Chains A and B, each alone.
Chain A
Amino acid sequence: MIELDQAAYSYGGGELLSDMTLSIAKGSFYFLTGPSGAGKTTLLKMCYADLVPTAGNVRLFGQNLRNMTRDDIATVRRRIGVVHQDCQFLDHLSVLENIALPLVVSGQDKLADRANLKELLAWVGLSKRANALPPELSGGERQRAALARAIILSPDVILADEPTGNVDWDMSQRLLQLLIELNKMGKTILIASHDLGLIRTAKSQVQARVLRIYNRRIQLAGANL
Chain B
Amino acid sequence: MTSLAVLLRQVFSSDGHRDRVVPPTGYTSILTTATSGIMAFLTVFALALSFAADRLGERWSDALSDSATIRISASAQEQDAQVERVMEILTTTQGVKSARVLSDEEQRMILAPWFGTDLPIERLNIPRVIDVTLNGEDFSAKGLALRLRAEAPAAMLDDHGRWRMPLVKAANRLKVLGWVSMILIVVALVSMITLAARAALSANAQVIRVLRLIGAQDSYIATAFVRRFSVRAFVGAVVGTVFASLVLFLLPSAEDPAGILTGLRIQGVEWLWILVLPLFSMCIGFFATRRAALIVLGELT
> Hey, which bits of chain A sit against chain B, CB under 8 A?
48, 50, 70-71, 73-75, 77-78, 82, 84, 88-90, 92-93, 97, 100-102, 104-106, 109, 149, 153
Contacts of B207 in A (CB 8 A): 90
Across the interface, do B24 and A92 meet the contact criterion of CB distance under 8 Å?
Answer: yes
Contact of A105 among B20, B24, B214 (CB under 8 A): B214
Residue of B nearest to A87 (CB): B210
Across the interface, do A104 and B213 meet the contact criterion of CB distance under 8 Å?
Answer: no
Contacts of B216 in A (CB 8 A): 74, 105
Across the interface, do A74 and B212 meet the contact criterion of CB distance under 8 Å?
Answer: yes
Across the interface, do A92 and B213 meet the contact criterion of CB distance under 8 Å?
Answer: no
Can you name 23 A-B residue pairings with CB atoms under 8 Å? Answer: A70-B218, A71-B217, A74-B212, A74-B215, A74-B216, A74-B217, A75-B215, A78-B215, A84-B213, A88-B210, A89-B210, A97-B17, A97-B20, A100-B17, A101-B210, A101-B211, A101-B214, A102-B215, A104-B18, A105-B21, A105-B214, A149-B214, A153-B215
- How far apart are the CA atoms of A88 and B212 in the complex, in Å? 11
Residue of A nearest to B211 (CB): A105
Across the interface, do B210 and A90 meet the contact criterion of CB distance under 8 Å?
Answer: yes
Contacts of A104 in B (CB 8 A): 17-18, 21
Query: With contacts A93-B20, A97-B17, A97-B20 known, is A105 near B215, CB below 8 A?
Result: yes
Query: With contacts A77-B213, A88-B209 known, is A101 near B21, CB below 8 A?
Result: yes
Contacts of B211 in A (CB 8 A): 101, 105
Contacts of A82 in B (CB 8 A): 213
Contacts of A70 in B (CB 8 A): 217-218
* Chain B 6-30 per-residue mask, 1 if CB under 8 angstroms from chain A, else 0: 0000000000011011011000000
Contacts of B21 in A (CB 8 A): 90, 93, 101, 104-105
Contacts of A100 in B (CB 8 A): 17
* Chain B 209-248 per-residue mask, 1 if CB under 8 angstroms from chain A, else 0: 1111111111010000000000000000000000000000
Contacts of B210 in A (CB 8 A): 88-90, 101
> Hey, which bits of chain B sit against chain A, CB under 8 A?
17-18, 20-21, 23-24, 207, 209-218, 220
Query: With contacts A50-B213, A92-B24 known, is A105 near B220, CB below 8 A?
Result: yes
Residue of A nearest to B207 (CB): A90
Across the interface, do B215 and A77 meet the contact criterion of CB distance under 8 Å?
Answer: yes
Residue of A nearest to B297 (CB): A70
Contact of B215 among A90, A97, A106 (CB under 8 A): A106
- How far apart are the CA atoms of A102 and B23 in the complex, in Å? 17
Contacts of B20 in A (CB 8 A): 92-93, 97
Q: How far is the CB of A105 from chain B (nearest CB, A)?
A: 4
Q: How far is the CB of B290 from chain A (nearest CB, A)?
A: 16
Question: Looking at A48, A102, A153, which has the most chain B CB atoms within 10 Å of its CB?
Answer: A102
Query: With contacts A104-B17, A105-B220 known, is A92 near B23, CB below 8 A?
Result: yes
- How far apart are the CA atoms of A102 and B20 in the complex, in Å? 14
Residue of B nearest to A71 (CB): B217
Q: How far is the CB of A53 from chain B (nearest CB, A)?
A: 15
Contact of B213 among A88, A93, A97, A106 (CB under 8 A): A88
Contacts of A89 in B (CB 8 A): 210
Contacts of B215 in A (CB 8 A): 74-75, 77-78, 102, 105-106, 153
Residue of B nearest to A153 (CB): B215
Question: Looking at B21, B24, B213, B216, which has the most chain A CB atoms within 10 Å of its CB?
Answer: B213
What 4 pairs across the A-B complex have the smallest Cβ distances? A105-B216, A78-B215, A77-B215, A92-B23
Residue of B nearest to A91 (CB): B23
Q: How far is the CB of A117 from chain B (nearest CB, A)?
A: 13
- How far apart are the CA atoms of A90 and B213 in the complex, in Å? 12
Residue of B nearest to A155 (CB): B215
Residue of A nearest to B224 (CB): A105
Across the interface, do A77 and B214 meet the contact criterion of CB distance under 8 Å?
Answer: yes
- How far apart are the CA atoms of A100 and B18 in the complex, in Å? 12
- How far apart are the CA atoms of A70 and B216 in the complex, in Å? 10
Residue of B nearest to A78 (CB): B215
- How far apart are the CA atoms of A42 and B213 in the complex, in Å? 15
Contacts of B18 in A (CB 8 A): 104
Q: How far is the CB of A76 from chain B (nearest CB, A)?
A: 8
Q: How far is the CB of A104 from chain B (nearest CB, A)?
A: 4
Contacts of B218 in A (CB 8 A): 70-71, 74
- How far apart are the CA atoms of A225 and B46 in the complex, in Å? 79
Question: Looking at B23, B217, B218, which has the most chain A CB atoms within 10 Å of its CB?
Answer: B217
